[in-house]
Structure 1
Amino acid sequence: MSAAIRSEFRKFFTTRLWWGMAIAVFLSGAAFATIVGLIFTSNALAGQAAGALPRTDADLAKAVYTGGIQIGYLLTLAIGIMMIGSEYRHKTITSTFLATPRRGRVMGAKVVTLLGIGAFYGVISLVGSVLAGAIILTLRGHSAFGDASIWRTLALSLLVLGLWALIGLGAGILIPNQVAALLISIGVAWIVEPILAAVLAIPAWGEHITPYLPSQATSATLGTMSAGINGQPVGQLSWWAGALVLMAYAAVMAGLGTWRTVRADIS
């Protein structure tokens, strides 16, 4: 297994994709932390839609530091898709399985590798967002690290990015065409699912479904608020329940993908 894991890491870090993604993750983390920090600490905004704004310095810091997490998990989602999709697209999956005939071991190595890659990009994102966010918060007179829950959020963001990479792995296998897998997965995660969450938050029965959607589970895991169409906060699970829900999505997607890969004929 260790040899297969090293092979998967080598496949990823010997391409130009990894540092291009690293730059994008760092810049997006810093940019969104700056934007969110300036907006949430604006005196003009403080008097409007107060119910949807962070109420404590700890909540404010968590919202600022994770302001770019949506872009971050979309990037790791794409990485998960490309890790397997590129192998099918370029027909290298055959040589991969020939080098390691036990397909379950190959897929296990990909799962471990993606968790590591997700954590790696999480660290890069946090470096950018914390540096920029802490400066904004300090200049605006707020505490940048005033509560222990902030550190928990930072640590859980690494887990979140790894889990979204596993969701991408499953999507990349279940949707054979790599381009289609990227477009459909990113479209659903970025546009369809957040809109669905906001719409479901309107009727009374919808509040029982919304917390279990992937984006809402992500927000709950990180301890950040998510607003509905009316601008008011949407009900969320506790951080540990949100993490379990997101783990379930990752397990189902990666599990289905692994099951299909193990059973499918490879030419």
Structure 2
Amino acid sequence: MGAAIRSELRKIFTTRLWWGMAIPIVLLAAGVTALLAATSEPEKANPDLGVPAMSQTQFAINTYTGAVGLGYLLTMCVGIVAIGSEYRHQTITSTFLAVPHRTRVMAAKVVALLVTGAFYGLLFVVAAVAAGAAVLSSRGLSTFGEGFAVPRALLLMLLVLGLWALIGLGAGILIPNQVAALMIMVGIAWILEPILGGVLASQDWGEGVSKFFPSRATQAMLSQQSTGINDSVPVERLSWPAGALVLLAYSALLAGIGTWLTTRRDVS
């Protein structure tokens, strides 16, 4: 098993994929976070909606995690490419010949992607905190607030990026065509799912459903405020442990179905 994991990690870190993804992750994390830190203001209390004033701790969390949507989109693409490129270039055959137990191969891919997602997550966190803290400090605002809330959000961001990489892995197996998988999943994760979740959140009957969507579960993990389609009315959200479990369930379901299909799919 150890050799299979090392092999999967070698496939990622001995190609141009790792630095080709690392560069945009660092640049986007630093750029978007610096922009948010420079232009955003802590929200004031709104008694009519029952919204308290935003603390500087929560403002710091929102600033550092503001670009996480771009981050998990990229790690999801890493997961898709990790398996999709093998089907595209038909190297999956040699992989299964080297390790005949397909379940072991897929388990190694899961572990390798968790490590890779954590690596990219660390790059994202370091870039976001470095850029965001510099701007917040220059404005005289707190960079880490009080207590362990901000460090906890940063640690959970590592978990978020790793889980979205697994979601990408499962999607890449379910849709063997790499290009189609990338287009479909980016469209769902970046456009369709957030819009649908916002629409449902604005309806009384759909509010309880929308909080279980991947993007809403991600927001819950990072203590970000969720709003309806008009971005003004706060909606009910899960606790951060529940959000983590929901996101873990999505990744486990897609990776599990993908692994099951892989063990029964013919390769050439």
Fold equivalence (TM over 0.5):
yes
Structure 2: gaps of 5 or more residues = none
Cα 1:197/1:53, change in 2 over 3 Å: farther
RMSD across aligned positions (CA): 1.8
Deviation per residue, 1:7-42 (Å, 9 max, x gap): 000000111111111111011111111122123238
Relative to structure 2, which stretch is displaced further, 144-153 or 32-41?
Answer: 32-41
1:134-192: per-residue Cα shift (whole Å, max 9, x none)?
11211222211123111110001000000000000010011121100000001100000
Contact 1:214–1:249, Cα closer than 8 Å, also in 2 = yes
1:61-210 correspondence to structure 2 within 5 Å: 61-147=60-146, 148-210=148-210
| Distance (Å, rounded) in 1 between the aligned partners of 2:114 and 2:131 | 26
Offset from partner CA, 1:92-113 (integer Å, 9 cap, x none): 0000000001101000000000
- Distance in 2, matches of 1:54 and 1:9, equals 45
Shift of 1:47: 9.5
- Are 1:41 and 1:140, in contact at CA under 8 Å, matched by a contact in 2? no
Letter in 2 for 1:101: P
SS of 1:230's equivalent? coil
For this pair of structures, how many residues does the alignment match? 264
1:41-52 equivalence runs, <5 A? 41=41
State the alpha-carbon separation in 1 of the partners of residues 202 and 244 from structure 2. Answer: 24
Aligned-residue sequence identity (percent) comes to: 57
Deviations 1:209-243 (A, max 9, x none): 01100000001011111332222223210000000
Kept after mapping to 2: 8 A contact 1:199/1:229: yes
TM-score between both structures, scaled by the size of structure 2: 0.94
Does residue 260 (structure 1) correspond to residue 251 (structure 2)? The answer is: no
What is the alpha-carbon distance in structure 2 between the residues aligned to residue 136 and residue 157 of structure 1? 21
CA distance in 2, matches of 1:117, 1:219: 22
Report the TM-score, using the length of structure 1 for normalisation: 0.95
User: Structure 1's 47 and 152: CA in aligned 2 closer, same or farther, altered over 3 A?
Assistant: closer
Alpha-carbon separation, structure 2, partners of 1:135 and 1:53: 27
Q: How does 1:237-256 map to 2 (within 5 A)?
A: 237-256=238-257
- Give per-residue Cα distances to partners, 1:64-118, cap 9 Å, x unaligned: 1111111110001000001000000000000000000110100000000000000
SS in structure 2 of the partner of residue 204 of structure 1:
coil
- Deviates most, 232-241 or 176-185: 232-241
- 3-state SS, counterpart of residue 189 of structure 2: helix
How many Å separate the matches in 1 of 2:52 and 2:36? 11
SS in 2 for 1:223: coil
Equivalent position amino acid for 1:59 in 2: Q
Higher helix share: 1
Gaps of 5+ in 1: none
Relative to structure 1, the CA distance from residue 154 to residue 54 in structure 2 (aligned partners, 3 Å threshold; closer, same or farther) is farther
Within 1, Cα distance between the matches of 2:218 and 2:261?
A: 27
> 2:185 and 2:261 mapped to 1: Cα distance?
18
Aligned mates of 1:113, 1:212 — CA distance in 2 = 27
Counterpart residue type for residue 56 of structure 1: S
Aligned-partner Cα distance in 1 for 2:33–2:52: 15
CA contact (8 A) 2:44 2:54 kept: no
Could you tell me how far apart the structure 1 residues matched to 2:160 and 2:193 are? 17
